[in-house]
Amino acid sequence: MRSTEPPAATSSVSPCEVRHLSKRYGAHTVVDDLTFSIPRNHVVGLIGPNGAGKTTTMKMLLGLVRPSGGDISLLDQTLGEPRWGDVLKRVGSMIEAPPIYDRLTARQNLQYQSLAVSGSIDDAEIGELLRLVDLADRADDRPRGYSLGMRQRLGIAITLVGQPELVILDEPGNGLDPAGIIEIRNLMGRLPEMGTTVLVSSHQLAEVQQACDQLVILANGRTVAQGTTAQILSGRAQHIFHVTVDDSDAQRASEALRTAGFAVVDRIDTTFVIEPPRSVGGRDLNCLLASDGIYASAINQPLVSLEDAFLDLVQQPEPVHATATHTQEVA
Ligand code: ATP
């Protein structure tokens, strides 16, 4: 039965680690020397442009595509070791379409999966999973009448049978309306506290920014950045402030900022967009202006979006490597 207790970590080792992974189809290298490691009990986003190699990578993790080179470790076992088949039983997955049998009801789909995973039917777990994905009142209906969001949620419930330590979800929000996307996000967010690490691919960057606390960003089959979402965003953020003053102070504020050596990169009415050195914060700017008798009505630092960071990263001419603890760039 699924426990809602905090997970008793089976290991501090990453549940999913790839080193120098590659996949070639003929002369076409679609995954190229890919290296990343995801932390346990997090929701980790695998993002990248179309054709970056996300699905191929996930398929290699699941043994659905044979790598051309490199190493994969899942749950402390390395691909090719004798116990690899057992490891895959502890990993749930949904690649491309949810693994649903339309002639079975939702409950029967889960019972079927329960039998496949453990050799017996755990009705208590199935009841909990149906509640978790908010399908308890439709459990005895056939999924062909379900909405797309309900099918995706049933698909995720199927991947969770047997309480896997890792689930791999390929674009689970594809085609869903905003309400469906929020439901999937909330569902994924509950899994780490139950001891399940989530690796999820997505195109919806605003959604990824909210759903995932860790990211692996791919471009052209390579890792271009890896780390916490906050690290990746702060690593890409320009040090920009918007300083707004009263109309009567605008001329003097402009002079004070320039005299202090701060580049005014834009001006919108009485709001100055400035890019000071990184050591200068909003408080310093406020003090600077106040020392000239100018009282700013607002000093804001605009947030960088994952979309901006992503475009910046994937347009780099060469790969950018970052680790989970430090985001750094290699020119
Ligand atoms: P998307 O976001 O569009 O789904 P993706 O990042 O998941 O893209 P993949 O589906 O992994 O990318 O594809 C990576 C590249 O590998 C693409 O250029 C694709 O055409 C190619 N590819 C995938 N499978 C095969 C195959 N079986 N034979 C040849 N090329 C393939």
pLDDT tens figures, 226-236 = 888 877 776 66
pLDDT of residue 8: 45
Q: Is 221 in the pocket of ligand 1 (CB under 6 A)?
A: no
Q: If you measure from the C-alpha of residue 238 to the centroid of ligand 1, how many angstroms do you get, rounded to a whole number?
A: 33
% the chain with pLDDT above 70? 89
Q: If you measure from the C-alpha of residue 256 to the centroid of ligand 1, how many angstroms do you get, rounded to a whole number?
A: 54
Distance CA 266, CA 260 (A): 16
CB atoms within 10 A of CB 42: 18
Stretch 255-281: mean pLDDT, rounded?
A: 88
pLDDT of residue 236: 60
Q: How confident is the model at residue 162 (pLDDT cuts 50, 70, 90)?
A: very high
Stretch 246-255: mean pLDDT, rounded?
A: 93
Encoded tokens for 259: 């005299």
Q: Is 15 in the pocket of ligand 1 (CB under 6 A)?
A: no
Stretch 177-202: mean pLDDT, rounded?
A: 90
Q: If you measure from the C-alpha of residue 220 to the centroid of ligand 1, how many angstroms do you get, rounded to a whole number?
A: 10
Distance CA 325, CA 231 (A): 8
Stretch 275-302: mean pLDDT, rounded?
A: 88
Q: Is 64 in the pocket of ligand 1 (CB under 6 A)?
A: no
- Find the length of the chain: 331
- Asked whether the CA dihedral 250, 256, 257, 259 is positive or negative, the reply is positive
Atom from ligand 1 closest to the CA of residue 203: 2
Residue with tokens 């005895």: 140
Secondary structure (3-state) at 121: coil
Q: How confident is the model at residue 323 (pLDDT cuts 50, 70, 90)?
A: very low
Q: If you measure from the C-alpha of residue 195 to the centroid of ligand 1, how many angstroms do you get, rounded to a whole number?
A: 31
Q: Name the closest-CA residue to atom 1, ligand 1.
A: 50
Distance CA 77, CA 172 (A): 26
Of the ranges 10-24, 88-102, 315-329, which is most confident? 88-102
What burial letters (b/e) apply to 182-192, b meaning 16+ CB within 10 Å? Answer: bbbbebbeebb
Q: Name the closest-CA residue to atom 20, ligand 1.
A: 51
Higher pLDDT residue, 63 or 5?
Answer: 63
pTM (two decimals): 0.77
Atom from ligand 1 closest to the CA of residue 48: 6
Does 177 have pLDDT greater than 80?
Answer: yes
* Type of residue at 211: A
Q: Over the chain, what is the mean pLDDT?
A: 85
pLDDT of residue 11: 56
**What's the CATH fold of domain 16-233?**
Rossmann fold (3.40.50)
pLDDT of residue 112: 95
Q: Name the closest-CA residue to atom 31, ligand 1.
A: 25
pLDDT of residue 1: 45
Q: If you measure from the C-alpha of residue 258 to the centroid of ligand 1, how many angstroms do you get, rounded to a whole number?
A: 51
Q: How confident is the model at residue 140 (pLDDT cuts 50, 70, 90)?
A: very high
